[in-house]
Amino acid sequence: MNSLLINRYEIINPLGSGGFGETFLARDTQMPSQRLVVIKHLKPALQNSHSSTELIENLFQKEAAVLEELGNHCSQIPQLYSYFSEEGEFYLVQEYIEGKNLSQVGQIKPEHATVILSSLLNTLKYVHSKNIIHRDIKPENIILRDSDRLPVLIDFGAVKETMGVVTLGSGSTVSSVVVGTRGFMAPEQTAGRPVFSTDLYALGLTIIYALTQRLPIEFSISQLTGEIDWTSYVPNLDPKLVQVLNKSIKIDLGSRYLTAEAMYSDLHTSSGIPLSTVLAPKSQEDTLVVSPGGESKNLISSLTSVVFSKVKSQNKDTKVPVNYTRVAVIALSILGLAGGFFVTQQMLEAQERAAQLEREKKEAEEKKEIAEKERLQAQQKALEAENLRQTAEQERLAVEKRQAQEERRRLADESRQARLERQRLAAERSRVAALSENYITSNTPDNNTSSEPVYTTNSNVSSSWRPTCGDSYTSGSQWWAVKGPASALSVVKNKYCGDAYIASRETQAASFSSESAAWSFANALSSASGYQFWVKKSR
C-alpha cells in the first residue's frame, strides 16, 4: 500500500489484518492538528463483474452513512471522518481511540465488570434502536478510552458483510461470508441469521473473558445444556451479575434476553424490585391515590416514594441529612408492622446501593491517585533515564574529543617524520649526484677482466654510447633497475645503452647493485634524454 493515500492520509503502521482487509494507523496531513486516524482497508470477497462491484459500492456507501450517524450521536462509538473507494477497494477513515482493549487490560474486578457491562448495554440500546446489529462483539473490539475510561465499541461487522455480497439468480442479494469471531458467535449467527440477542450473547461472553481471562473454548461445557462453567474461576461474585451473564449466554435463543433494555433492567434490579422505584423522580407529586384493587407491593412502592420525596423536599433548604430511621418510623406508623417490613427493605437496599456507589467512587479516586503517582514515577524515571543518557553522551563526546586530539598529534608526528625523511633522501640524492660528477668508471682492459664493458656510477651518460650499462651481475645481490617509459627505448638503445630492452611495458636501461648509483644514473639519463626515468628494486 502507498504510504500516502489520496494525497492526504500518511500511513504510520499497521494495526491488524484479516479476511476482509487491513487496518492502519495514519495521520491526516490536511488537518492543522495532524490528527491520528484509523483507516480500514476493505477488500471485496468476489470481484467477478462490474455489476457486483457497483452493488457492493452502493451497499458500502449506505453502511458508511449508518456508521456516520452512530458515531455522531453516541460518544462510545468512533466517529466516521471520511470514506472512499479506489481501484475496486474501499476505505473507512475513523476516529482513533487511545486506550487498551479488554484483551490487553488483564483481569478486571467484578464491580468494574458491572460498570462496563452497564455502559455497553446503554450503547447497544441506542445501536439496536437504529435496527443495527454489531455482529462482532469481542474483547478486542471494546476499548477502554484513556480520557474517561468509558468502553468504546469499535469495528462494526455490517460494513464487512457488504464485502461478501453476491447477487442470486432471482435478483436478490445475500452475503457470502459470515461475520463474527469463533467462540463469541451465537448459534443463530453461525447460521447467518443474527438478531439483537446475538450481540447480547457475545457481550456476555466478552464480560466473562474480562473477569476470567479465558476464552469461551477454554471452559468445560455441560453435556446436557451445552452451557459453559465459568463461575468457579472468579470467587465472591455478585449473584445478580452471575444471573444476568448466565442468562445472556444461553444456547437457546428463547431463553436469552431479547433486548439490551431487558438485560440492563435485570442488571439494575435488586431482589425483584427495580431501583427506580426506590428513588422517586423529582417531578413526582406528594399526593397519593390508592386504587381499591391495587396490589400491596405497588402501594408500598408508591408510599415509599412519597415519603422519600417529602423528606427530601423538607431537607432541601435546611441542608439537614435525611434521617432514614425517622422515615422508617413514619412508614411503619402508616402501614403497620407488616407493610413496614417491605418499606424498610427497600430503604436498606437504597442505602446499600448508595454505599456501593460511594465505595466505587472512593475506589475510582484511589485508582486515579495511584495512576497519577505511577505517572509521576514513570515521568521521574524517564527524566533520570534522560539524564543518564545525556551524561553518557557527554562522556562519549569527551572520549571522541580525546581520540581526535591523539589522532591529530599522531598525524603531526608522522608528517614531521615524513618531512625529515624527504630531507634525508634529498640530501642523499645530492650527495650521490656530487659523487657521480666526480667519478667515472672507465671501460678499459686493464681495469676489467671481463671482456664486456661495465657502467657504474656515471652521471654523464651522454658522453658515449655503451653496449652495456650498469653493474656486472653478482649472484645473491640486491639489484635496482633504472626504468623509463616504453617510448624512450629507441633513444636509450641508440644513444646511451645498447642493451636496453622492454620489461613489463617499461624501458629498462640498466641495473645496479647500489640504490644510490641507480638513482644517479636515472637522474643523469633523464637529463640527457628528456624522458623521465626512475628506480625499481628487482630480483
User: What DSSP letter does each residue of 341-384 carry, written as one string?
Assistant: HHHHHHHHHHHHHHHHHHHHHHHHHHHHHHHHHHHHHHHHHHHH
What pLDDT, on a 0 to 100 scale, did the predictor assign at position 169? 46
Catalytic residue among 136, 155, 199, 471: 136
Domain check: are 318 and 360 in the same one? Answer: yes
For helices 515-529 and 324-438, the axis angle rounded to 10 degrees is: 80
Residue 433 lies in a domain: no
Contact 21/51 with Cβ under 8 angstroms?
no
Claim to verify: residue 304 and residue 179 sit in the same structural domain? no
Domain contains 497: no
116 and 210 both lie in a single domain: yes
* Residues 19 and 122 occupy one common structural domain: yes
Task: Tell me if 256 sits within 8 A of 243, measured CB to CB.
Answer: no
Of 471, 456, 458, residue with least CA distance to 523: 458
Domain match, 145 and 103 both:
yes
Residue 518 lies in a domain: no
- What letter would DSSP give residue 143? E
Its domain, for residue 188, covers: 4-267
Quote the pLDDT of residue 147: 95
Vertex 142 angle, CA 43 and 366, to 5°? 155
What confidence tens digit (pLDDT) does each residue in 362-401 have? 999 999 999 999 999 999 999 999 999 999 999 999 999 9
136 is catalytic: yes
Looking at the domain assignment, is residue 134 inside a domain? yes
422 within domain boundaries: no
How many CB atoms within 10 Å of residue 387?
10
The domain spanning residue 34 has which CATH number? 1.10.510.10
The pLDDT profile of the chain, 539 residues, written as one tens digit per residue, is 668 999 999 999 999 887 678 999 999 999 999 999 999 998 886 655 444 677 778 888 988 999 999 999 999 999 999 999 988 889 999 999 999 999 999 999 999 999 999 999 999 999 999 999 999 999 999 999 999 999 999 999 876 666 554 444 444 444 545 688 999 999 999 998 999 999 999 999 999 999 999 999 999 988 887 889 999 999 889 999 999 999 999 999 999 999 999 999 999 986 343 444 333 333 333 333 333 333 333 434 444 444 444 444 444 444 444 444 444 434 433 344 333 433 445 556 677 778 889 899 999 999 999 999 999 999 999 999 999 999 999 999 999 999 999 999 999 999 999 999 999 888 888 877 776 665 434 433 444 443 333 334 444 454 578 899 998 877 667 899 999 999 999 999 999 999 999 999 999 999 999 999 999 999 999 999 999 999 999 86
CA proximity to 488, closest of 440, 525, 448: 525
| Overall number of domains in the chain | 2
- State whether the Cα torsion 430-433-437-442 is positive or negative: positive
Assess whether 27 and 133 both reside in one domain.
Answer: yes
Asked whether residue 297 is marked as a ligand-binding residue, the answer is no
pLDDT of residue 273: 37
Write out the three cell numbers for 142.
Answer: 471494546
- Residues across the chain: 539
Residues 212 and 337 reside in one and the same domain: no
pLDDT of residue 137: 97
Question: In Å, what is the CA distance from 417 to each residue of 273, 284, 404, 427, 500?
Answer: 103, 107, 20, 15, 37
Q: Is 203 among the domain residues?
A: yes
CB 277 within 8 A of CB 350: no
3-state helix, strand, coil in the chain (%, to 5): 50, 15, 35
Q: 55 and 11 share a domain?
A: yes
Within this chain, do residues 256 and 143 fall inside the same structural domain, yes or no? yes
pLDDT value of residue 399: 96
Residues 222 and 365 in one domain: no
